[in-house]
Structure 1
């Protein structure tokens, strides 16, 4: 899913020097996928053979709170989701991770962030590691010029790219995606892919996942 940035129009008084990009409005926060969270909670509670009352007791939350979450209502906080994942003995990502397409883009500020109930803190799950996967972490420094074209890696490889600074054009060779700071992209690494800097001083974090 590729969501474009909306740019706020400049007023007549807005100063803009040569080559300076127009000011942009901060992206609107993405709503939590309450329906998927509800379905995941019901699925995992059934798998564990727990009643609503028992799961709520183990997680240390009110039964009414859990009932609302399973009905796709309410506003789950980070601590509540973590407590439920511990009580169900599953990683938090099992309750939060949505279905993915082969190529997946999350623009800066657009992922479903789960806020803390006790601090100014929010966690956005970008990608959950599937069972049996191995992940290698790389820091990339990329400058404009010739693209870094890569042949297909071994079967089952997925690449995850997060832009720290600058801009890049990356992803499948036939259909790359332009990314700005904070944007996240995942794509098949077992197919030809590319990465080209669009600005000097571009840096990225690359995670290569092997199965």
Structure 2
């Protein structure tokens, strides 16, 4: 249906997501699961990283073995909820450079409003992974990627926990060159712009706010 979308259907991913969807799951548990599930999804989004052969010595012999090549990747969190995914991926890829895009959604227009932007240098030479738990309308995500492309990024991937068809379509329209990796493609958006069935507001559930 969407050639730029990958849904990670691994049983561990789906199990953890089910617990996160449950409204009775505590803030502490939700945050822990988000960190865990982000690492599992990150395996998929980094599947095709460039490597090079290097010479090393094992305790037994010398050999040629693969290591990551090129500039260290950039992980870009769309604030604030993106930080929950960011923390888990950084445990997996601690050498990554980190940037932040601050956007909030105007409750009336549902359009994104920028309030912060800080990213690593040399973006054109890095794989850029943008993280945000929810791809709902897609407006904030598309706006964030607009800013990243203006900063020089050309190799961008988007990682989210949940996606709505509306958001996936919006991203394909705005940025057809950006692959999306998610744990689930949900049914639709409700009149308030929330993903259905979804899991509520990821930021509120992560930080215990309302």
If the TM-score is normalised by the length of the shorter chain, which range does it land in?
A: under 0.3
Q: Highest relative contact order (Cα 8 Å, sep 6+), 1 or 2?
A: 2
TM-score (norm 1): 0.25
Greater helix content: 2
Q: Please identify the structure whose Cα radius of gyration is greater.
A: 1
